[in-house]
Amino acid sequence: MNVLDRLAGGLVVSCQPLPDDPGDPMRDAYVQARVAAAAVRGGAVAVRANGPADVAAIRALVDVPVIGLYKHGTTGVMITPTAGHAVEVALAGAQIVAVDATDRPRPDGCRFADTVRAVHDRTGALVLADVSTEAEALAAVRAGADAVATTLSGYTPASPPTDGPDLALLARLADLLPVPVLAEGRYRTTAHIERAFAVGAHAVVVGNAVTSPLWITRRLVPATPRGGQPG
Ligand SMILES: CC(=O)N[C@H](C=O)[C@@H](O)[C@H](O)[C@H](O)COP(=O)(O)O
C-alpha cells in the first residue's frame, strides 16, 4: 500500500512545539514522541513532526507514517527551505517530506522542483507541497509533488489571514488536482473536519488544537477574570 493510501479518510496529528515561542517546554524530542504515541492511540492515521530529532524519536515509537518537515529561519520560506533540509528529514525517517511550495525566494537560491528531485532521487520519501494558493498548488504538481496541503493559506502575502480553515481553497484544490489534497491550517473542531471531507480532503491535519498545551491555555485564559495576570 502506498504511504499516502494509509492516510486516506483519516486524521493526521501535527506534533510540534509552538514555532513562535522558543521557550515552549514541549520543545523536546522525547516529549513529542509521547504526544505522537497518544495521538496514534486516539486514532490518528499519521503524524506530522518538525526536525530530524523529533522525526527519529517518533518513528521509533509509533507505527504510522510520519510526515516530516524541517523548520528553519524566521521569515519567508521556513518549512523545509532547502533540498538539504528535505533530504535530512527524510533520512531521519520521514516517509513523506512537507516542503514550502510557494514561489518565494529560498535561502539556497534553488526552486521547489529541485527539492522534489533531490528527495525522489536520494531517498524513498514522497513530497507533500505546502501551499497558500491555487497557482502554487498547480505549479507544485507540475514540479512533481506527490500530494498537496493547504498548510500555508493565511500565512503568506498571497493569502489573507482568516480565523478558521480555508475550506474554499481546499475545495478548489480537491476538485482540480490529480494528487491527494490534505486539509491543514486552523482545523480545530469536528465540524471543520466533517466539512473538509465533504469537499474532498484526502486527510485532515490538526496541530495545536490537539498537541499544544501552551497554545490551548493561551486561548482559554483570556476568558477568566484573572486574564493574563501572573500568579
Ligand atoms: C504555517 C505553519 O508554519 N504551519 C506549521 C506546519 O507544519 C505548524 O506550525 C502548524 O501547527 C500545522 O500546520 C498545523 O496547523 P494548526 O496548528 O493550525 O492545526
Q: Which of ligand 1's atoms lies nearest the C-alpha of 130? A: 6
* Alpha carbon distance 215, 42 (integer Å): 20
| pTM listed for this prediction | 0.97
Instruction: Report pLDDT digits (tens) over 23-50.
Output: 999 999 999 999 999 999 999 999 999 9
* Alpha carbon distance 115, 193 (integer Å): 30
* Alpha carbon distance 167, 179 (integer Å): 17
Q: Would you say the CB of residue 68 lies under 6 angstroms from ligand 1?
A: no
CATH number at residue 122: 3.20.20.70
> Is residue 74 domain-resident?
yes
Q: Would you say the CB of residue 153 lies under 6 angstroms from ligand 1?
A: no
> Is residue 104 domain-resident?
yes
Instruction: Report pLDDT digits (tens) over 60-90.
Output: 999 999 999 999 999 999 999 999 999 999 9
Which helix (H) or strand (E) segment holds residue 59: the answer is helix 52-61
> Is residue 230 domain-resident?
no
> Is residue 226 domain-resident?
no
* Alpha carbon distance 7, 141 (integer Å): 19
Query: Which residue's entry shows cell 515561542?
Result: 21
**In terms of residue numbers, what domain contains 116?**
6-220
Cell reading at 92: 531521519
Residue from 13, 14, 58 whose mutation best tests the ligand 1 pocket (most atoms within 8 A of CB): 14
CA dist list (Å): 11 to 7, 30, 194: 8, 22, 11
Instruction: Report pLDDT digits (tens) over 117-167.
Output: 999 999 999 999 999 999 999 999 999 999 999 999 999 999 999 899 999
Instruction: Give the pLDDT confidence score for residue 231 in this predicted structure.
Output: 57
Q: Would you say the CB of residue 115 lies under 6 angstroms from ligand 1?
A: no
Give how many domains the chain has, as a whole number.
1
Q: Would you say the CB of residue 200 lies under 6 angstroms from ligand 1?
A: no
